[in-house]
Amino acid sequence: IMLETDAPFLTPEPWRGKRNEPCHLGFTAARIAGIKGIPTEEVWRATARTAEAFFELSPL
């Protein structure tokens, strides 16, 4: 899974009606963590690894 903010009008619930921005990713990561029953840090690690592999980046 990757987290992104390319959809400017699909803002998370607390900010619905405003432009989506990268600062909202924390809310999205926390929501995913809550649904999956895992720590938010685990979501961050997993999404970082996915992005590194997909974009062929050095580890962050």
Q: Mean pLDDT over all residues of the chain? A: 91
Whether residue 6 lies inside any domain: the answer is: no
User: DSSP H helical segments within the chain, as ranges?
Assistant: 25-36, 40-54
Does the pLDDT value for residue 31 go beyond 90?
yes
Whether residue 14 lies inside any domain: the answer is: no
Does the pLDDT value for residue 32 go beyond 90?
yes
pLDDT band at 37 (very low <50, low <70, confident <90, very high): very high
Whether residue 33 lies inside any domain: the answer is: yes
Compute the distance between CA of residue 2 and CA of residue 24 in angstroms, rounded to an integer.
14
C-alpha closest to that of 26 among 8, 10, 7, 5: 5
Number of folded domains that form the chain: 1
- Under DSSP, is residue 18 helix (H, G, I), strand (E, B) or coil? coil
Compute the distance between CA of residue 38 and CA of residue 16 in angstroms, rounded to an integer.
25
Does the pLDDT value for residue 6 go beyond 80?
no
Whether residue 10 lies inside any domain: the answer is: no
Which structural domain range is residue 43 located in?
A: 22-60
Query: Token digits for 46?
Result: 């997993």
